[in-house]
Amino acid sequence: MAEPLRVAVRRGEIVECLHEVHAVAVQDGSIVAKAGNAALVASLRSSAKPLQALPLARAYDNLSEDELAIASASHFGTPEHVEAVRRLLAATGGSEDELDCGLQDRRPPEPVFHNCSGKHAGMIAVCRAQGWPVEGYRRPDHPLQLALLEEVAGAAEVEPGEVATGLDGCGVVCFGVSLERAAAAFSRLERLEGGDRIASSMRGRPVLIGGEGATDTELMRAQPEWLAKAGAEGLMCAVSSSGIGLAVKVADGNSRALRPALAAFGAPLGLDLPAFAEVTLRNSHGEPAGTVSGL
């Protein structure tokens, strides 16, 4: 097994912490680069959102770039984000009362402000298009969630029974596959039916995918030919316009190691992110107090 990437947290002369990062790149069905364990199973969490949005793109050919982008987002709940969710609901006959994503700490107490509300709006829209009941759409035995399991498995080119499942933070099913299969799924995204529209919307509206300062948003701004979607617990999946799919996972789940790891692993693959190579840590006075960077 190739050695994992190592990212160090330093304060002056002190190395406070080391993070191990596993990463793999896949193109045309083959691994083209790896660091660490490409077979490591990771919970995709929000990195699955572009795959979960595929049925939405196929069901509605009149949705705007904003409406497709927000369905793939883990957004910050800004007015721009919330308005995009509301437009998606309006365009597909849904309502905010149908959103079953719960409430989120430190946000207004309305489901539309939840960072997964765009995904849920898209799920409601697919239920309506397919004639499935909206009620209970997030439950594992609902036709929607069973279809999304098939969707993720198909993108990763595995059998549905090979996909690990669990309960996501917003209440829907989440999926676990190996990093190699996650990278392969992203490498194929634009070749899947509806995937070209999802990819175009994400690249065209990166601020809707996360928000100002989000790692996936800033990656796409810096490298417009790439698409990126963060998951939870230190996961990032991405794909270039040439079909190089990446999956990068911080072993201990701390996402502060992602930017230096992406800069180091991505550079030989054409993902040029010099601003990610070293992250400055600031103290409560706003002073530079440390760095996060590769060893």
pLDDT at 143 over 80: yes
Q: Which 8-state DSSP code applies to residue 272?
A: -
Stretch 110-123: mean pLDDT: 98
Collapse the DSSP code of 8 into the 3-class scheme (helix H, G, I; strand E, B; otherwise coil) and give the result. strand
Q: How confident is the model at residue 1 (pLDDT cuts 50, 70, 90)?
A: low
To 5 degrees, how large is the angle CA 2–CA 44–CA 24?
A: 20
β-strands 173-178, 164-167 pairing? antiparallel
Could you read off the pLDDT of 175-187 as tens digits, one per residue?
A: 999 999 999 999 9
The CA distance from 243 to 26, in Å, is 8
Name the class of domain 5-294: alpha beta
Percent of the chain having pLDDT more than 70? 100
Q: How confident is the model at residue 51 (pLDDT cuts 50, 70, 90)?
A: very high
pLDDT at 116 over 80: yes
Could you read off the pLDDT of 61-102 as tens digits, one per residue?
A: 999 999 999 999 999 999 999 999 999 999 999 999 999 999
User: What's residue 295's pLDDT?
Assistant: 87
Could you read off the pLDDT of 187-225 as tens digits, one per residue?
A: 999 999 999 999 999 999 999 999 999 999 999 999 999
Q: Within 13 Å, how many C-alpha atoms sit on residue 192's CB side?
A: 25
The CA distance from 151 to 72, in Å, is 15
Residue length of the chain = 295
Stretch 148-177: mean pLDDT: 98
